[in-house]
Structure 1
Amino acid sequence: MSQENDRSADFDLFSPPAAENPFTVYDDMRGQCPVAHSEQLGGYWIATTYQAVNDIAKNPGLFSSVSISVPKDAFGADLAERPPITLDPPRHGPFRSTLLPAFSPRQIRALEPFVREHARELLAEIAPLERCDAASAYAKKIPSRLMARMMGCTDDRQEQFGERMRAILDSNEMDEIKDAMAETQVFLNELIAERLEDPRDDVVSCILSSEIDGRKLTEGELIGALVLIITAGIDTTWSAIGSSLWHLARHPEDRARLVAEPELIPAAVEEFLRAFSPVQIARVVTEDTEFHGVKLSEGESILMGLPSANRDATEFPGADRIVLDREVNRHLAFGVGIHRCIGSSIARLEMRVALEEWLRVIPEFSLAPGDAVTWSTGHVWGPRKLDLLLGG
């Protein structure tokens, strides 16, 4: 294990390497051992292969969701509770069920016209430009506006909602995140009070009407669930749309193919999710155990390296290549097991529509010269700056 530990000891989730493609950071570790170790952030394990990540996700008894960050106290006790993603069985199932009506197929189908109209509004402003930051001007705004709508924000409050999310999602400074979270909680309490007086067909009203074992959700459960839905719904989709545009800006052959064959875009979305999986979360080991050749101790954190698992060549032939029409694509970008992302269908919808509309309006684009891309760090990776030249 010493060699394996040496190769991974410097890996810091919050400081991915300044590489052209940061998702390749796991390649060496995955080649050395399925489960590596980092001495950073107080020390944690990293599952790097498809099988190891799959085994963790499907064994909540051995790998608890009580803390999904590394280090375990990364966001402080006040920000740690995010049901249902931080709940283990038997609490998890009933809580997750309370959210399902808000993500029903009927609800999701009804969102597409709004997403498409918003994308077209954004592109009407972007298309005349010679250059733009597609991460902030497009990729970020699509999920931010949709999430504001799903929360029941009126049109005049949706921009305000997006600005409140900026500090939470853009910053790695915990004081700034905590301040923004406190402001967001006030904002959510206002929405909750409004929906108690005037229930509507939105996420807040749906959760307010839910019950677990005959009781209503507590204030803490309600706020925690709403914050989870908001942050996960914006940050991950924003990152995935940005990574997709980043790839297409660098690969004109793939861009030209999708422009000529837009019916391939749904399959391309799955491939982009596989190759540029934005999310990676942790679990806590519940008892001493041997796992994929290493000894884990009770209480240790283990990161599920989803971006690494989705580039495992034992599961994905030619894993380092983007294959737009890859036929078998059982990627883990949305997780697997009981905590599989409840909003995956919404994320797919947003990615598909965002790419369809962008390629229809701006079929030719490329990375601007110089430092065109800045990547986020932490539990969600994606372009936070994506400077593009527009046109041929």
Structure 2
Amino acid sequence: MPSDDDFDLFSPPGAENPFTVYDDLRGGCPVAHSSKHGGYWIATSYQAVDDVAKNPELFSSVSISVPKNAFGDDLAERPPITLDPPRHGPFRRTLLPAFSPRQIKALEPSVRDHARELLSGIVGRDRCDAAAEYAKKIPSRFMARMIGCDDDRQDEFAEQMRALLEANEMAEIQAAMAVTQPFLDDLIEQRRRKPGEDLVSCVLSAEIDGRTLTGPELIGALVLIITAGIDTTWSALGSSLWHLARHPEDRKRLVADPALVPTAVEEFLRAFSPVQIARVVTRDTEFHGARLSAGDSILLGMPSANRDSAEFPCADQVDIGREVNRHLAFGVGIHRCIGSSVARMEMRVALEEWLRAIPDFSLAPGDAVKWSTGHVWGPRRLDLLLGSPREE
């Protein structure tokens, strides 16, 4: 593990399990510092992350990335996640209908049908890339339906989102946005003419300071919600399959008792939390022993907080039957993930269907896994060897 000041959020993990890289950092201090990317602080303990998230007056959401301009000027404004109180609350409430229990329940059968469709192309093969062929495609199709994308354009949507999600350099982000923005502009114009209950219609009706969103704000909000809805579930589902490929005892337990899958999903979210976002310090302060200055960035290390033994017994172990699990995978405070129920449903259904169709699988030999880095961690490649499918 590098020294605190050398910690790089964007460096490829050296450990077999990348989620262990925070352990030494957390053991040394609840708030660490890195000199990389212009310098930033990292809240590593459960309590420190909780304290940052619940104090928007001291820790502003005006920028959520490291470095502050990581996503470029075109995507600098991404409400509601970049809004502070009191502007945040009314905007967020406008989005709630798109994520209502009724909406999620109505869409669940389509997720299950899509999972089965994908698995029909995998079952019977010797191996597959479960990240690219399954984990990524489940949330991509779901988000296409959430935004009201026509069926005949869903593949086009998925490809555009793939390019945007996999862009790392600023030039790649700008190139991806040059293709994505006209697609979103067309969708926005359709919803202006004919509003519905979809996500785009909700964003169009949202207001900041009594006005509807400007062009950059509107595009930023949609890109944020769409990419967050795809990337986080893709990563968490991929990590779950990665764990099950390495731990046959857990895999066999879930195959024998599918009713345990929802509990296992919560544990996978804790142990392999994909998301870590930043805040901006609003004034000079001492925080958990660290002297922070106004304008400093501080990263909420959710993957680290969820491995904190002060909060979770045997925190470094994956217990798929863990009953008390107050993890922070979806954040905490006013910016807690609005789509958490969606992600839980997608993961549950995707794992249920995978284990039903492919109960036996393991990691392929060699370089089977490629992890993403930065603000969302998860397998971008997950090569699995597949056993015999279960008979219906």
Q: TM > 0.5 between the two? A: yes
- What's 1:72 paired with? 68
Distance in structure 1 (CA, Å) of the matches to 2:370 and 2:203: 36
- What's 2:252 paired with? 256
Distance in structure 2 (CA, Å) of the matches to 1:213 and 1:77: 22
- The list of structure 1 runs, each at least 4 consecutive aligned residues, that deviate by more than 6 angstroms after superposition, is none
- What's 2:140 paired with? 144
Distance in structure 1 (CA, Å) of the matches to 2:298 and 2:48: 11
Letter in 2 for 1:257: R
Distance in structure 1 (CA, Å) of the matches to 2:112 and 2:213: 34
1:183 paired with 2:182, answer no
Secondary structure of the residue aligned to 2:7 is coil
Count of residues in Structure 1 that have an aligned counterpart in Structure 2: 388
Distance in structure 2 (CA, Å) of the matches to 1:265 and 1:379: 27
- What's 1:391 paired with? 387
1:98 paired with 2:94, answer yes
- What's 1:222 paired with? 218
8 Å contact kept, 1:98–1:212: no
Letter in 2 for 1:273: L
Equivalent residue for 1:237, pick from 233, 239, 252 = 233
Which deviations, in whole Å up to 9, do the C-alpha atoms of 1:144-176 show, x marking residues without a partner? 011011111111100100110112111212211
Shift of 1:350: 0.3
Distance in structure 2 (CA, Å) of the matches to 1:246 and 1:258: 14
Shift of 1:79: 1.4
Shift of 1:210: 3.9
TM-score (ref. length: structure 1): 0.97
Letter in 2 for 1:216: T
- What is the correspondence of 1:334-345 to structure 2 with a 5 Å cutoff? 334-345=330-341
1:17 paired with 2:19, answer no
Distance in structure 2 (CA, Å) of the matches to 1:377 and 1:260: 34
- What is the correspondence of 1:35-184 to structure 2 with a 5 Å cutoff? 35-184=31-180
Secondary structure of the residue aligned to 1:384 is strand
RMSD: 1.3
Distance in structure 1 (CA, Å) of the matches to 2:208 and 2:56: 21
Shift of 1:9: 1.5
Letter in 1 for 2:56: P
Distance in structure 2 (CA, Å) of the matches to 1:26 and 1:65: 23
Shift of 1:71: 0.9
1:285 paired with 2:281, answer yes
Shift of 1:212: 5.2
Distance in structure 1 (CA, Å) of the matches to 2:344 and 2:34: 33
Equivalent residue for 1:297, pick from 289, 293, 298 = 293
Distance in structure 2 (CA, Å) of the matches to 1:161 and 1:358: 24
8 Å contact kept, 1:67–1:80: yes
Which deviations, in whole Å up to 9, do the C-alpha atoms of 1:36-60 show, x marking residues without a partner? 1111111111110000000000000
Distance in structure 2 (CA, Å) of the matches to 1:210 and 1:286: 27
Shift of 1:214: 5.0
Which deviations, in whole Å up to 9, do the C-alpha atoms of 1:208-233 show, x marking residues without a partner? 23445654333333222111110100
Which deviations, in whole Å up to 9, do the C-alpha atoms of 1:53-90 show, x marking residues without a partner? 00000000000001101111112222111100001111
- What's 1:332 paired with? 328
Shift of 1:18: 2.3
| Structure 1, gaps ≥5 residues long | none
| Structure 2, gaps ≥5 residues long | none
Distance in structure 2 (CA, Å) of the matches to 1:222 and 1:44: 29
TM-score (ref. length: structure 2): 0.97
Secondary structure of the residue aligned to 2:291 is strand
Distance in structure 2 (CA, Å) of the matches to 1:309 and 1:278: 12
Which stretch shifts more, 113-122 or 95-104? 95-104
Percent sequence identity is 78
Letter in 1 for 2:3: R
Secondary structure of the residue aligned to 1:346 is helix
Which stretch shifts more, 134-143 or 91-100? 91-100
Secondary structure of the residue aligned to 1:388 is strand
Secondary structure of the residue aligned to 2:14 is coil
Distance in structure 2 (CA, Å) of the matches to 1:34 and 1:7: 14
